[in-house]
């Protein structure tokens, strides 16, 4: 798990500051968005729901609206399920919006 710099206690259980890097095939005309998000988002929003939400906001060309909506959903689910909120960070880049 990549997470922190200088957290020596977390290091003892496998947390590292070394990033996890995944290389994917080239972006195609079928790809609609790139989403970079913390586990605070992914732990509460399944891929299918993420895709459906992104589709709705992609059609409106509103990545900021999509990000705000997904953060709000995640916060509500964290509070409902655990009475607290995990780290929530998301970056959304819409592709092919000129078509």
pLDDT at 99: 54
pLDDT at 5: 64
C-alpha span between 10 and 3 (Å, rounded): 9
SS3 content of the chain, % helix, strand, coil (to 5): 40, 10, 45
Secondary structure element (H or E) that encloses residue 41, with its range: helix 39-42
Of 22, 3, 70, which Cα lies nearest the Cα of 42?
70
Contact 68, 62 (CB under 8 A): no
pTM: 0.78
> pLDDT truncated to tens, each residue of the chain (99 aa)?
555 666 777 778 887 777 778 888 888 888 999 999 988 999 999 999 999 999 999 999 999 999 999 999 999 999 999 999 988 999 999 998 665
pLDDT at 6: 67
């Amino acid at each position: 798990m990549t997470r922190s710099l200088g957290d020596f206690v977390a290091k003892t259980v496998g947390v590292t500051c070394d990033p996890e890097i995944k290389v994917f095939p080239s972006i195609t005309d079928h790809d609609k968005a790139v989403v970079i998000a913390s586990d605070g988002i992914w732990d509460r929003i399944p891929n299918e729901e993420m895709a459906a939400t992104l589709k709705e906001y992609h059609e409106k060309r509103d990545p900021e609206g999509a990000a705000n909506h997904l953060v709000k959903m995640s916060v509500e689910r964290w509070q409902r399920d655990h009475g607290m909120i995990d780290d929530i960070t998301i970056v959304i880049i819409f592709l092919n919006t000129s078509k």
